[in-house]
Amino acid sequence: MVHNLKSLQNLPSVVELHLYKNPDMESIRGVPKLQVLSINYCPKLKLLEGIPALQKLYLLDFSMKTLPGYLQDVKPKSLVLDCSLPLLGNISMGASCSDWDKISHIQQISGYAGEMRIRRRWYVFYTREPFKLDTNIVCSSISRDKTTLPPTDLAGLRRLLATASPQ
C-alpha cells in the first residue's frame, strides 16, 4: 500500500485504480486507458485530467459538503456516490441543486447516504437519457409518489439540508 501521494500521472496502461485514504492526493493526470476509478477519502483531490476512457467512477467521502469540481472535467458513464445525507438531499433536488452542473452530464448516478447502522438507507438514482430521477428522500419538488419519512425524520432532514446550504 502506498501512502502520502500528491499526484499520479502518465500511467498509460492502467485500466483500474483504487485510491483509499490519500489525504494529500491533489491530481490524477494522463491515464488514458483508465476505465474504473475508485476514490475514497481523498479530500484535497482537485484535478482529474487525461482520463478519456473512464466508464465508472466510485466516490466515497461522508465529510464532503459539496461535490468536487473535478466531476465537471470527467465523463464517466456511471457514478456511484456514498456521501452525507445533507449532500445527498441537495442532489435529490435535481436541477435546482447547487452542484447539479457538476454531475448532470453523467449518464447514470447512484447516490447513497447512511443513517445509524444502515449504510445505504437513503438513495438518489438518476439517469440522464431517458431522464429519470428517483429518491426515497422526501422533496416535494421531485415527486409526490416517494416514500414518506416519519415527521421526526423529515424535520431532521430539513435541518440537515438547511445547515448544508451555502449562505
The pLDDT value given to residue 142 = 30
**Containing H/E element for 119?**
strand 118-127
In this predicted structure, the answer to whether residue 144 has a pLDDT above a threshold of 60 is no
pLDDT 10s digits, 62-103: 999 999 999 999 999 999 999 999 999 999 988 888 899 999
Contacts of 163 (CB under 8 A, 6+ apart): 86
In this predicted structure, the answer to whether residue 165 has a pLDDT above a threshold of 90 is no
- Considering only residues 155 and 12, tell me which one the structure prediction assigns the higher pLDDT: 12
Query: By the 8 A CB rule, do 48 and 39 touch?
Result: no
pTM of the model: 0.79
Sheet holding 108-115, edge to edge: 16-20, 36-40, 56-60, 78-82, 108-115, 118-127, 132-135
